[in-house]
């Protein structure tokens, strides 16, 4: 169907001014997004969302556009999920709203062993890290990079990122923490010499 005959979307799409992005989606992608709209993780106040709330009626979303796209990405196939997360980053107005989509994109890239892309997203997360917001929170990008670097044999890079995480008070969720990880990596590096 030609785009000039497309009905203008209403609902959450109009409320969040996502018409331009919405118009790039195929009919099957729109259906996929509608299917994920009613999942229990979806943030809502009042009655739960239904499929038509995406592009019909006057339904609104309580968060901002980046948060909506980030939340919507959870139920999508990998290609569409990546497009939605990239749009969330593009629409984000602060480092916190960029943090979570980038972390998800890094994990997606790691799972398919696209280590260059994983590294890019992790470094974006780390370089834009708001230390006041994430002071006591675990930032997964540090441990993801340390693991990936070690897996690639980039032991000094793994040590460096672990030391950087430790210097800002991060913990990697393991029993030994970054201190233990650094010691293990240093032992491994000395055996390689």
Ranges of each domain in the chain? 1-93, 95-193
Fold of domain 95-193: 1.25.40
* Residue 16: closest CA among 68, 57, 53: 68
- Dihedral angle, C-alpha 133, 135, 138, 144, nearest 10 °: 90
Q: Please, is 5 exposed, middle or buried when counting C-beta atoms within 10 Å of its C-beta (0-12, 13-18, 19+)?
A: exposed
Give me the percent of the chain exceeding a pLDDT of 90.
66
Task: Indicate the pTM of the whole model.
Answer: 0.88
**In whole angstroms, what is the distance from residue 190 CA to residue 178 CA?**
18
Query: Per mean pLDDT, which range of 13-22, 46-55, 60-69 is the poorest?
Result: 46-55
């Amino acid at each position: 169907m030609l785009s000039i005959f497309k009905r203008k979307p209403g609902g959450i799409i109009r409320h969040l001014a996502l018409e331009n992005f919405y118009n790039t989606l195929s009919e099957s992608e729109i259906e996929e997004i509608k299917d994920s709209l009613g999942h229990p993780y979806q943030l809502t106040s009042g009655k739960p969302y239904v499929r038509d709330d995406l592009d019909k009626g006057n339904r609104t979303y309580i968060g901002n556009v980046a948060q909506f796209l980030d939340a919507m990405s959870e139920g999508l196939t990998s290609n569409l999920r990546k497009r939605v997360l990239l749009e969330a980053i593009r629409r984000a107005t602060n480092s916190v709203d960029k943090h979570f989509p980038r972390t998800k994109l890094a994990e997606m890239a790691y799972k398919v062993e696209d280590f260059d892309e994983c590294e890019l997203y992790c470094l974006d997360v780390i370089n834009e890290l708001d230390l006041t917001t994430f002071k006591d929170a675990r930032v997964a990008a540090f441990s993801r990079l340390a693991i990936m670097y070690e897996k690639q044999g980039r032991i000094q890079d793994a040590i460096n990122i672990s030391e950087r995480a430790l210097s800002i008070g991060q913990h990697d969720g393991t029993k030994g923490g970054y201190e233990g990880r650094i010691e293990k990596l240093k032992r491994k590096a000395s055996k390689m010499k």
